[in-house]
Amino acid sequence: MAKRYAVILAAGQGTRMKSKLYKVLHPVMGRPMVQHVIDQLNPVNLDKMITIVGHGAEKVAEHIGNESEMVLQGEQLGTGHAVIQAEDLLKNKDGTTIVVCGDTPLITSETYRSLFDHHEQEGAKATVLTAKAPDPSGYGRVVRNDQNEVERIVEHKDAEDAERQVDEINTGTYCFDNKALFEALQHVSNDNVQGEYYLPDVIEILQSRDEKVSAFQTPDFEETLGINDRVALAHAEKILKKRINEKHMRNGATLIDPDNTYISPDVTIEQDVLIHPGSIIKGSTTIKADAEIGPHTEIDNCYIGQASIIKQSVAKDSYIGDRVQIGPYSHIRPEASIGNEAKIGNFVEVKKSSLGNKSKVSHLSYIGDAEVGSNVNIGCGTITVNYDGKNKYLTTIEDDAFIGCNSNLVAPVTVGEGSYVAAGSTITKDVPEDALSIARARQANKEGYASRIRNQKKD
């Protein structure tokens, strides 16, 4: 098979985004646009991938890491000029080079593969990926000759009225015979409205030399959406969201309202998971079978065990076991590990703590830097006092302990196995196992005092 190379154009500022963030780093469903492009190109088995960086090169490079080679385009003089930057790495190679814009994040591997195959089967020197757009404005238009061959591509800004009527657009993705590409690029000028070296001009150059130029029209315009501003960004988000949600539904998850469910690309969801509206599920989250998420729940990078239920809550970087109940209104912060059949109730915050199987923190508590055993019951309003303003300390609560309501456990401290802490206690010393610890002022009842006070007030 012929060698295959890719050049990703990602050097532009993205002026129309009106943002301090470089365009190709704007996320779509939580992942930068340029990353989507790389992810979809990866399965195509390329021999080389080169990303052209310029504006925000350091930030873009930081993001791409070693997933792609990178070449700097010092000045952004147009898409043709951008491709020329890859010349040293590609010039003398035989094979096919695909050029893709970093701002078309929705094109799939299948489309890239089909484009390569079409190009190679046709034996073309250039093949442009085109689509029919319901509203083609802003895009380059594909101008065909009497034989229906692609003659040239005209940019919207340079197009005459008749050309603007054409609804077949240049998606900004092309396959080229590699050597023919770099040769033709030598002849591209910047004699146009924008004063830029346009890559699409290569098409006209090759066509005028009677080289074979082909077009591959995809039926799915939405896939080829170019993101130039935030209106298009929101549109892309919607399309990708739908694509991801439909995948999960086909795999056996129920989404009550897919329009209001936001699942990032790396999330794994098993069968019979039920997701209620307003849920946002991000990062490398895994949700095991029969779990129920939402409504209005945000989960980032968590493992959620089988048949667990999480309502109106936020969870991040944490492990949740099987048949756990969380919420409504719980906050599970990073490095929490919640055992099977545990319960975290309303207005409970858990941070960097482990909770054993069947333990319960049902209401209004803060559990931070704690190791809680199994079968522990933590009463309403309990606080692990973990921070002295400088350092964090560990609270240990052993199996079967019972912590009464409104207790403070001042760390470092251990509550021994099976022991009781009386409600309202401030525990500053370890509680041995099987003990009852009471750490509060004794109650004094002064009989008849209330009416004395009331009568005083009347005077």
- Are the C-beta atoms of 395 and 413 separated by less than 8 Å? yes
Q: How far apart are CA 304 and CA 301, in angstroms?
A: 10
Residue 296 C-alpha from the chain's centroid: 18
Using CB distances below 5 to 8 A depending on partner kind, what does residue 237 bind out of ligand UD1, Ca ion, none?
none
- Token pair 């300390």 is found at 393
Nearest to 364 by CA among 383, 343, 380, 386: 380
Residue 352's Cβ-side half-sphere holds a number of Cα atoms within 13 Å equal to 9
Q: Shortest distance, CB of residue 194 to ligand UD1, whole angstroms?
A: 8
Residue 398 binds Ca ion, judged by CB under 5 A: no
Q: Shortest distance, CB of residue 229 to Ca ion, whole angstroms?
A: 10
Using CB distances below 5 to 8 A depending on partner kind, what does residue 345 bind out of ligand UD1, Ca ion, none?
none
Nearest residue (CB) to ligand UD1, 126 versus 411: 126
- Are the C-beta atoms of 355 and 342 separated by less than 8 Å? yes
Interface with ligand UD1 by CB under 6 A: which residues?
9-12, 24, 52, 54, 73, 76-79, 81-82, 101-104, 139-140, 153, 155, 169-172, 198-200, 226, 228
- Are the C-beta atoms of 153 and 172 separated by less than 8 Å? no
Using CB distances below 5 to 8 A depending on partner kind, what does residue 380 bind out of ligand UD1, Ca ion, none?
none
Measured from the Cβ of residue 315, the count of other Cβ atoms closer than 10 Å reads 29
Backbone angles phi and psi of 334, in degrees to 5: -55, 150
Calculate ∠ Cα 167-233-129, nearest 5°.
Answer: 40
Residue 345 binds Ca ion, judged by CB under 5 A: no
Nearest residue (CB) to ligand UD1, 107 versus 299: 107
Nearest to 124 by CA among 80, 49, 84, 174: 174
Residue 416 binds Ca ion, judged by CB under 5 A: no
42 Rama class: left (phi>0) / alpha (psi -120 to 50) / beta: alpha
Residue 196 binds Ca ion, judged by CB under 5 A: no
Question: What is the amino acid identity at position 128?
Answer: V
Using CB distances below 5 to 8 A depending on partner kind, what does residue 203 bind out of ligand UD1, Ca ion, none?
none
Catalytically annotated residue among 187, 235, 296, 363: 363
Task: Classify residue 391 as exposed, middle or buried by CB count within 10 Å of its CB (0-12, 13-18, 19+).
Answer: exposed
363 catalytic? Reply is yes
Residue 140 binds Ca ion, judged by CB under 5 A: no
- Token pair 């890859």 is found at 86
Using CB distances below 5 to 8 A depending on partner kind, what does residue 81 bind out of Ca ion, ligand UD1, none?
ligand UD1
Stretch that binds Ca ion, among 24-32, 118-126, 218-226, 380-388 (CB under 5 A): 218-226
Q: Nearest residue to ligand UD1, using CB?
A: 140
Considering only residues 257 to 316 of the shown chain, the ones binding Ca ion according to CB under 5 A are: none
The CA-atom distances, in angstroms, between 326 and each of 272, 309, 340 are 19, 6, 12
Nearest residue (CB) to Ca ion, 184 versus 199: 199
Stretch that binds Ca ion, among 85-93, 99-107, 323-331, 396-404 (CB under 5 A): 99-107
31, two tokens:
């992942």
Binding test (CB under 5 A) with Ca ion, winner from 84, 103, 285, 415: 103
Nearest residue (CB) to Ca ion, 56 versus 327: 56
Q: Shortest distance, CB of residue 79 to Ca ion, whole angstroms?
A: 9
Using CB distances below 5 to 8 A depending on partner kind, what does residue 78 bind out of Ca ion, ligand UD1, none?
ligand UD1
Nearest residue (CB) to ligand UD1, 190 versus 346: 190
Q: How far apart are CA 129 and CA 224, in angstroms?
A: 9
Nearest residue (CB) to ligand UD1, 59 versus 363: 59
Binding test (CB under 5 A) with Ca ion, winner from 56, 102, 105, 226: 226
Q: Shortest distance, CB of residue 77 to ligand UD1, whole angstroms?
A: 5
- Are the C-beta atoms of 428 and 410 separated by less than 8 Å? yes
Q: Nearest residue to Ca ion, using CB?
A: 226
- Are the C-beta atoms of 25 and 63 separated by less than 8 Å? yes
Q: How far apart are CA 161 and CA 85, in angstroms?
A: 34
Nearest residue (CB) to Ca ion, 228 versus 354: 228
164, two tokens:
């603007």
Which residues of this chain interact with Ca ion, rule CB under 5 A? 103, 226, 228
Catalytic residues: 363
